[in-house]
Amino acid sequence: MMSQIVLKKSTAELQLMKTHYQALLSPKQPPGSIFTAKTNNCTITAYKSGKVLFQGAGCQSEADKWGGFNSEVAPKKKASSPKGSKLPDHFASLSVVGSDEVGTGDYFGPMTVVAAYVSATNIPLLKELGVQDSKNLNDQRIIQIAKQIKDVIPFSLLTLHNEKYNNMQQKGMSQGKLKALLHNQAINSVLEKMSPEKPDAVLIDQFAQEGVYYNYLKSQANIQRENVYFSTKGESVHIAVAAASILARYAFLLRFEELSKKAGFPLTKGAGPKVDECGAKLIHIHGEDSLTRFVKLHFANTDKAKALYRKKYKA
């Protein structure tokens, strides 16, 4: 994880800092920022809200120039737990590992799962960078935010490519079990990266009841159970799940672009009629056997694509 410090400064102080770093200002600035400057070992980004982010090996010495010991800490007495949930009070302000998956409803493209750790001190920064429910963000914004946070927070990314997905699914493994295995593995991996630091909690964006989830994992040697919670709409419960979702979506988009290049034409996300047309075109260009590398074969789109291929290209 990249070393970083966040300070809160007044408008006058921000202007003074901008003048100080005038010769080092970068032409590229993230949304909502006033300036970005780069020294040999530190990147300084000041935001309109007054927050200033120092990143890099020299972040401490650079922040010290501006009173670097008043690093902002996330408030502890806001946002209560969702009504009726088993989550601890003020869950949104805790240090949490959140996990989420992307690509499970897409015919083309892999399943990607990310577990990401957001400490209480990093919550204001991630909000400043625009982290929120990924469903409210377009792909361009997802990419923009993911590039900013991937070096700020520790995370673990797992990608289940279609060929392996189809092989495991054909052996009788449900999508639910595949998701459980990947979530557990990603959570274990990010906890290892964090060690010896421990989160206050782990939050899984719920795709199965707790008992079903752990039943899926019963044959695994290392099952994470300590302070693990489940919640639907996890992205709105804690920003760690939102960050995990953005990073997972970013990875999915990169893999999707690679698949489109291999196919030789732009593929379509989702599982609608246009996806069937892409499937038929893929069969026409690369043959039916190519499907196993590009799609999730058990989707109804497979039969539809084959039928469309016979009608459109074989007639």
Angle at 148 between CA 26 and CA 188, to 5 degrees: 150
pLDDT tens across 132-171, in order? 888 888 999 999 999 999 988 999 999 999 999 999 999 9
Mean pLDDT, rounded, for 234-249: 94
Angle subtended by helix axes 273-286 and 301-312, to nearest 10:
60
pLDDT band at 181 (very low <50, low <70, confident <90, very high): very high
pLDDT-derived band at 66 (thresholds 50, 70, 90) equals: confident
DSSP reduced 3-state for 269: coil
Q: What's residue 292's pLDDT?
A: 96
For residue 142, CA distances in Å to 223, 246, 247 come to 31, 6, 8
- Vertex 276, ends 181 and 264: CA angle to 5°? 85
Residue 58, pLDDT score: 82
Point out which residues pair with 47 in neighbouring strands: 33
CB 21 within 8 A of CB 34: no
All residues at 6 or more sequence positions from 48 whose CB lies less than 8 Å from its CB, including other chains: 32, 33, 34
Q: According to the model, what pLDDT value does residue 195 have?
A: 87
| Average pLDDT value for residue range 75-96 | 65
Checking if the pLDDT of 266 tops 90, the result is yes
State pLDDT tens for residues 41-62.
888 898 888 888 888 888 887 8
